[in-house]
């Protein structure tokens, strides 16, 4: 759903914090499966809500997955949780799994996955359908009341809550203000026209990553799975406007000042050695980029770009939420839910904002607009949120990422040209809309 179409729920969210951030199991998650305690997932409240949890002398072993960047803070939060619950004995095992990779790793074998793990909101529907998520049954009303409406919707299926939202996210543009002016960064054409001493890459972008690539298609007015992102039969990236996006990308990739395949590590390195003037990424890189740029550290919304028909459009973006989930097969559903709630509470959301520049979903923190806007990265995120599209969680989205990557790689390799562009776009869309296996 276009954020600009739900501004009541999301624009306030933008400056206020709703800014944007494989073997299936029959157990838990949906009404067709069983929860960890043997009840149907639809009724797992009968055990989890009434069970007092583990016996006082039992050692409660919980495995927690977090991203590489989140390991240190996650361990500290888990230690604090154990200290706050001295009546129980906890032992934690940690794994490095990013939110983006959570679904893939969990669905390899739900029973072997972490008890508590973070995932991107586009994975909610698939994880629930696979029976991998334990339905939230403890303090549900409080969690709903404390977090933004959009983030709760992203963690819910058919009115049931399956996770604990805590980070809202999208991407935007960082730049070195000793190399580009505030006027320069408004337009991609202006950025690319500059000759900057010592800079080899005026604009760094991850062209073959579907999450980023959509910025051009959405900017031109194309939609993925319809205007609301819920129609698995609709994708118009191959229409006339999508074709103009393809033309633009082909020309852009052929510009030696364009960094066509820059992931986070290359972006951080480029700002560190001064060879990048501007780059598109998210708040998770704010600390490193700020450390590299010092007084020249700046960030803003994505620039505009001009289509072949002469129309100038604003680059869009894809927005999502980070959600903490509980494994449907956990041996300790009560304690796992308590830990997930702890990891995503107001205090820990505030910690992530202050220490990692991650935008919160907590409403009270969201209302502190002065504090949020004082953070350069989060303020830029808020600007871009006005032009963002909330990332869909319908199962069909599984078919999007690989074709998007292939299309980007073909443009980078030069095998997608203006002569065969329509054919490549048609193949792209046909793959996205193919029947799920």
* pLDDT for residue 56: 65
- Per the CB < 8 A criterion, the answer to whether 353 and 378 are in contact is yes
Q: Which pLDDT score, from 0 to 100, does residue 52 have?
A: 56
> Per the structure block, which two tokens stand in for 169?
């996210």
CA distance 39 to 171: 41
Inter-residue contact 324 to 97 (CB < 8 Å): no
If 0-12 CB within 10 Å is exposed, 13-18 middle and 19+ buried, where does residue 54 land? middle
Residue-range domain boundaries for the chain: 3-169+319-390, 172-318+392-433
Residue 214 C-beta-side C-alpha neighbours within 13 Å: 27
Pairing of strands 276-281, 201-204: parallel
Q: Please give the Cα distance from 387 to 409 (Å, whole number).
A: 26
| 371 vs 20 pLDDT, higher one | 371
What is the mean pLDDT of the segment spanning 156-165?
96
Does the fold of domain 172-318+392-433 match that of domain 3-169+319-390?
yes
CATH code for residues 3-169+319-390: 3.40.190.10
Q: Measured on CA atoms in the order 113, 168, 374, 316, is the torsion positive or negative?
A: positive
| Residue pLDDT, tens place only, 170-182 | 999 999 999 999 9
Q: For residue 268, which of 252, 285, 248 has the smallest C-alpha distance? A: 285
Q: What is the pLDDT of residue 34?
A: 30
Residue 51 reports pLDDT greater than 60: no
Q: Measure CA of the first residue to CA of the last residue in the chain; give whole Å.
A: 26
pTM, 2 dp: 0.77
What contacts 24+ positions apart, CB below 8 Å, involve 397-400?
397/122, 397/126, 397/224, 397/225, 398/126, 398/436, 399/431, 399/432, 399/433, 399/434, 399/436, 400/210, 400/224, 400/432
Cβ atoms within 10 Å of 101's Cβ, excluding its own: 16
Exposed / middle / buried, residue 351 (Cβ in 10 Å: 0-12, 13-18, 19+)? middle
Q: Hey, what are 140's tokens?
A: 């549900």
What does the pLDDT look like over 111-123, one tens digit per residue?
A: 999 999 999 998 9
Residue 35 has pLDDT above 80, yes or no: no
Per-residue pLDDT reduced to its tens digit, 183-206: 999 999 999 999 999 999 999 999
The two beta strands, 258-259 and 172-176, are unpaired
| Average pLDDT over every residue of 376-386 | 91
Nearest to 122 by CA among 103, 147, 149, 96: 103
Q: What is the distance between the alpha carbons of residues 426 and 437, in angstroms, rounded to a whole number? A: 20
In this model, does residue 31 exceed pLDDT 70? no
Three-state secondary-structure class, residue 125 = helix
Q: Which two tokens stand for residue 226?
A: 């319809």
**How many CB atoms sit inside 10 A of residue 53's CB?**
18
In this prediction, residue 60 carries a pLDDT of: 97
Per DSSP, the three-state class of 111 is helix
In CATH, which superfamily holds the domain spanning 172-318+392-433? Periplasmic binding protein-like II (3.40.190.10)
Q: ∠ CA 248-249-254 to the nearest 5 degrees? A: 100
Structure tokens at 350: 């505030």
Neighbours of 367 (CB within 10 A): 14
């Amino acid at each position: 759903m276009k954020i600009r179409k739900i501004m009541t729920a999301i624009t306030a969210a933008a400056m206020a914090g709703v800014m944007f951030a494989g073997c299936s199991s029959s157990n838990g998650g949906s009404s067709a499966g069983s929860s960890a305690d043997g009840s149907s997932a639809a009724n797992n409240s009968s055990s989890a809500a009434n069970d007092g949890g583990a016996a006082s002398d039992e050692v409660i072993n919980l495995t927690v997955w977090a991203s590489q960047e989140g390991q240190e803070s996650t361990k500290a939060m888990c230690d604090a949780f154990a200290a706050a619950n001295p009546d129980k004995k906890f032992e934690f095992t940690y794994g490095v799994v990013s939110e983006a990779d959570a679904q893939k790793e969990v669905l390899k074998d739900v029973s072997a996955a972490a008890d508590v793990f973070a995932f991107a909101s586009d994975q909610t529907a698939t994880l629930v359908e696979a029976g991998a998520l334990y339905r939230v049954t403890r303090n549900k009303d409080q969690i709903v009341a404390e977090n933004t409406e959009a983030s709760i919707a992203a963690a819910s299926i058919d009115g049931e809550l399956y996770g604990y939202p805590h980070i809202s996210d999208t991407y935007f543009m960082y730049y070195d203000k000793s190399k580009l002016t505030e006027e320069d960064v408004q337009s991609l054409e202006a950025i690319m026209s500059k000759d900057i001493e010592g800079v080899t890459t005026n604009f760094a972008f991850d062209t073959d990553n579907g999450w980023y690539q959509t910025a051009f298609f959405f900017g031109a007015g194309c939609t993925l799975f319809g205007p609301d992102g819920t129609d698995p039969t609709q994708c118009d990236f191959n229409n006339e406007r999508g074709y103009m996006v393809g033309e633009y990308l082909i020309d852009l990739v052929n510009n030696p000042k364009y960094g066509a395949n820059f992931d986070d590590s290359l972006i951080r390195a480029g700002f560190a050695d001064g060879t990048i003037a501007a780059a598109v990424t998210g708040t998770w890189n704010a600390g490193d980029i700020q450390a590299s740029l010092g007084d020249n550290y700046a960030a803003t919304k994505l620039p505009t770009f001009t289509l072949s028909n002469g129309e100038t459009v604003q680059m869009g973006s894809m927005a999502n939420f980070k959600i903490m989930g509980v494994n449907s097969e956990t041996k300790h559903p009560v304690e796992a839910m308590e830990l997930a709630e702890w990891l995503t509470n107001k205090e820990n959301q505030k910690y992530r904002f202050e220490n990692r520049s991650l935008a919160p979903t907590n409403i009270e923190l969201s209302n502190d607009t002065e504090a949020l806007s004082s953070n350069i990265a989060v303020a830029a995120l808020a600007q871009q949120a006005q032009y963002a599209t909330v990332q869909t969680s319908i199962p069909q989205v599984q078919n999007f990422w690989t074709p998007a990557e292939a299309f980007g790689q073909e443009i980078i390799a030069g095998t997608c040209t203006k002569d065969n562009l329509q054919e490549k776009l048609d193949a792209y869309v046909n793959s996205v809309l193919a029947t799920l296996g």
